[in-house]
Structure 1
Amino acid sequence: MAKRFVKSREYKFHLSQEELSEIPIHAPLSKKQEMYTQEEDATIVVMGGAAASGKTQTSIHRIFLRAMNDPHYVCTVLRHNKNALTQGGSFWETIRQEWEPYGVSFNGISNVARFPNGAFVKLHYIDNNKSDFQSMQCSMHIEEGAELGIQESDVVYLISRLRGKSKYKPQLTITCNPEKDSYMRSWLEKGGYLTEDGFPKKEMDGKTTYFLQKNGAIEFFQTRKEIEDLYGKETSTFALPFVFISGNVDDNPYILKHDPQYRFNLLNMERVEKEKLYDGNWLASSTAEGYAKREYFREIALSDIPLGLPTMRAWDFAASKPSEASPNPDASVGIKCSYDKSTGDFYILDMVKLKDRSAVVEQALIKAAKDDGTGVYVSIPVDPGAAGKHSSDLRKARLMSEGSKVVLSKTRGSKLSRAEPFLLALQEGKVHILKDVFDQETYTNIENFTGKRNKFFDDEIDSLSDCYNNLVKGNLIPSIKLPNKDNARLRSLGGSTLL
């Protein structure tokens, strides 16, 4: 059978060589930028950690290379606010200036950039709008992915949309500056990319870890073997490779050459701003939204807590599960604390926290009371109105039938006035906490409590306030232990504890 030879057509660019010579060459200018541009193995790639590291420009170059080399490449670029992507000097304006000479066409109505080979890039927004992405099959890029308006649940959903026909692996790339209250900080901490002080670990730069969503929770592992040992081999195959590449202005030679004043300004900012924007510290915060700070809580060991102190677990209730309509509802919180009247020291011992339906919350209430034992008081809030009183009475009756000592805490006055005694003790250094009792979300909520409605939750501060106020008042009746000869009379009274 004779071989058939087909003469290949030479690709002819629409510009002459002379015209091409006038187009600026865009390329990575540092090791960090090159690492980010060439990363192909990870499913989730995060670049950032400080200002002016060239994150946006390198992202544009990264997308351009893939689109030019593959007609099947599709990428959606996202930000919390779409206007931030399209206004003057934005991502949209930058790609128009840089890509138009290469024959890329732009539709300003749909915000789509289409390459001559058929590849295209679309700009959109991310704001609790999962339905917009249900049929998407593409890579995705999030600009300023640590913005507080961007929820973890939205980003996790986008990961499930990573697919397509491109020869390039579908990836989610994210650029960001440090934001203490962002989900991204939690991810980087879990992945081991940050020091205890919040700075990027140099030895972890560009190192692959493994991202796993298991039973709704996000977990990180250093190797697939760790996942296999914990959850089995099949589960380990579903973990996604994750890479964080830190960078600051020193990783951007263009700024160092053409705008050295910018680096000088970063170095001479106030300490907190310098740590955040130059050093990339994810714990740095220039805001003072509330009356509490994480560092006010004095972490101690269990052996440092005196024995025999009056102890209470105070509850604040909610009854909503996370859903698509409400991905991050209020939580039901029960915090156990002790108080030393002789010193004024307040000890935080344990926290139960869940976001679930009423039946599950009630089960958690009873279980916590049983685990704590009858020596620990249980504080139940009494909400205004007949319905609130009826609900609290039912809980009290059920707990007392299990042998618990119950205190009803009326929710009178403003939240701030109720919290003031606890906040003053916290500022005075009188509040101690066992390690790992509070998660990052809890600290964030407490730090941002102002007594006024905002985007943060007050579940934890309400629980702490009731616990502190009840224990400090000293009106609790202790358990009375009677000698054995009085057991018959004791049984007639209904138990070993008098209320």
Structure 2
Amino acid sequence: MDQIRPQPRQEDFLKSSADIVIFGGAAGGGKTWSLLYEPLRHVDVPRFGAVIFRRNTNQIMNEGGMYDASQELYRKYPGAVPKKTPAPAWTFPSGAKVSFRHLERDDSVYKWQGTEICLLEFDELTHFSEKMFFYMLSRNRSTCGVRPYVRATCNPDADSWVAGFISWWVDQDTGYAIPERSGQIRYMGRINEQIYWGDTVGEVVEHAKGADPDAELDTEDIKSVTFILSTIEDNQILLKSDPGYMANLKALTKVERERLLKGNWKIKAARGLYFPRNKVNLISELPNDIVRWVRAWDLAATEDKKNTSPEDGPAYTAGIMIGCRRNGRFVIADVINRRMDSSSVRQTVLNTAKLDKAKYGRKVRIRMNQDPGQAGKEQAENYLKLLSGFSVHIIPETGSKETRAEPLSAQWIGPEGSETGFVDVLIAPWTEEYLGQLESFPESKFKDMVDASATGFLELQSITPSSAPPKKTALNKESYFNR
């Protein structure tokens, strides 16, 4: 059998004696590989069982997901047998099993009543609710001879319950993990949804009694816990095999770069972090090297009949014309932002399509997002009929507004340390209003122009350029496992 060796930080994770170990703090540290490796230590034990959870099935079964990664690793073990149905799992010659499951909703945990899971693992713990974690902790038991335990990975999320759970290991002023505390074990007991901590089991009992004299906390209910810091710098195999991965992380927005590259648990989206005004390049006339255009719409159909103030009125319909230049830069060339009734919205969209075609030719793609449900489907069909003869792309909207804005934000800000980013904005009567809304995102009430801009950028990226894309560099298996 081929030898499989963890890297030093992964070894810290694998050798910890704590009941609960949370591994992570940034992207690229080899966290998923470590979760997959951990069960291999016990697969010679009959009746041993491990379950690795992701939030949904796609994260397990998609191309390059956890099941694909397990194929590369577990096939090296003689006699290991995979299966995909009725649920993905591996069975080993001893009868030990490693299963992959999802927990999409809080009530999904009740499907696990009466089960026994010796090794309970969560990939991206911040994707799971506190209720999910502690209910499944009650399923963490064993009769196979291996002491039951829990392992989890995560990236920083300031709004997740995990941020509070591991707060002792994180500097609350800077948001960065404290290196000296990485791997140190503390003890935790939970009663009536309240968590009590201590440096010893006795301290936990004392703290619980001090807070609630009627608290009944037995020593066997107390778990040892640790957090182990991991960043891309700990994954030298990945850095050597795919040096471009570091560049990808550096190209993220400031918020995402702080989280995924630097491991900041306190950073949150705030005004000026996504689209700072000083990072944009203002131009007085359009360049003549635009190779692709997209007119993206964020539709609203509520007329402002009461003439309310901008802060209190209904949503706007926004239409953004965004182009891609031959040199790779992006241009915001035109902005429509109005309150209209549904009939006026339809007429404005149609008239704008005709004007865009006359001004920019046939290289303009129209992009809209489809709202969920039957009403969204019917609206999409109506607009496809209305815009017959034009190039139109309507797809369901997914993810939060912040998530959808991140790709454009990365281009707007540019590389770390640069004076400006890669977005040009035409100076026009709408420019000040446009920059004001983007700079205030995500705190402002109205985000119509941001949504349309982000949608337009994503559509530009999906259009195949006339020239062939650069060839992708193949990654070797070793770097793939250690992501």
Instruction: With the length of structure 1 as denominator, give the TM-score of the two structures.
Output: 0.51
Alpha-carbon contact 1:193-1:244 (below 8 Å) kept: no
Indicate the residue corresponding to 2:25 in structure 1.
49
Structure 1 residues 280-359: aligned runs within 5 Å: 280-286=263-269
What is the aligned-residue identity percentage?
A: 25
Match of 1:114?
91
Q: 2:196 aligns with which of 215, 219, 227?
A: 219
Report how far residue 256 of structure 1 moved.
2.0
Distance 1:224 1:134, change over 3 A: same
* Corresponding residue number in structure 2 for 1:60: 36
Q: Does residue 250 of the first structure (1) align with residue 244 of the second (2)?
A: no
Distance 1:135 1:225 in 2: 31
How many aligned positions are there?
A: 276
Question: Which of 188, 197, 217 is residue 235 of structure 1 equivalent to?
Answer: 217
Q: 1:135 aligns with which of 114, 123, 134?
A: 114
d(CA) in 2 for partners of 1:252, 1:57: 11
Partner Cα separation in structure 2 for residue 255 and residue 278 of structure 1: 14
Distance 2:205 2:73 in 1: 46
User: Partner amino acid for 2:266?
Assistant: L
Gaps of 5+ in 2: 210-214, 274-307, 314-440, 447-483
Shift of 1:269: 4.3
The alpha-carbon distance between structure 1 residues 289 and 241, as it changes in their structure 2 partners (threshold 3 A), is farther
Please identify runs of 4+ aligned residues in structure 1 that moved more than 6 A: 287-290, 447-452
Decide whether aligned partners of structure 1 residues 121 and 273 sit closer, same or farther in structure 2, where only a CA change above 3 A counts. Answer: same
CA positional deviation for 1:231? 3.4
| 1:88 and 2:88 correspond | no
Aligned to 2:146: 168
Matches within 5 A, 1:456-467: none
CA shift, 1:270, in A, is 4.4
Q: What root-mean-square deviation, in Å, do the aligned CA atoms of Structure 1 and Structure 2 show?
A: 3.1
Checking the alignment, whether the CA contact within 8 Å between 2:196 and 2:207 is kept in structure 1 is no
Alignment partner, residue 162 of structure 2? 184
| Aligned equivalents of 2:185, 2:21: Cα separation in 1 | 9
Pairing partner for 2:6 from 21, 28, 31 = 28
Q: Which amino acid aligns with 2:109?
A: K
Q: Which residue of 1 aligns with 2:180?
A: 203
Give the TM-score of the pair, scaled to structure 2.
0.52
Q: How far apart are residue 451 of structure 1 and its match?
A: 6.7
What are the Cα deviations for residues 100-138 of structure 1, in whole angstroms up to 9, with x where unaligned?
242211121121211111000111111311211112111
Determine whether 1:126 maps to 2:108.
no
Question: Quick check: 2:169–2:182 contact (8 Å CA) kept in 1?
Answer: no
| Structure 1 residues 221 and 451, CA gap change in structure 2 (3 angstroms) | farther
Larger Rg: 1
Alpha carbons 2:196, 2:208 under 8 Å: kept:
no
List runs of 5+ in structure 1 lacking aligned partners.
Answer: 1-19, 291-412, 419-446, 453-499
Which stretch shifts more, 117-126 or 91-100?
91-100
Partner of 2:132: 154
Letter in structure 2 aligned against 1:151: S
The answer (yes or no) to whether the contact 1:193–1:205 under 8 Å persists in 2 is no
Return the letter of the residue paired with 2:88.
N
Distance 1:53 1:247 in 2: 5
Contact 1:224 1:236 in 2 (8 A): no
Deviation of 1:95 (Å): 1.1
Q: Structure 2 CA distance, aligned partners of 1:287 and 1:79?
A: 29
Q: Distance in 2 between matches of 1:124 and 1:258?
A: 30
The structure showing larger relative contact order (alpha-carbon pairs under 8 Å, at least 6 residues apart) is: 2
Q: What secondary structure is seen at the aligned counterpart in 1 of 2:166? A: helix
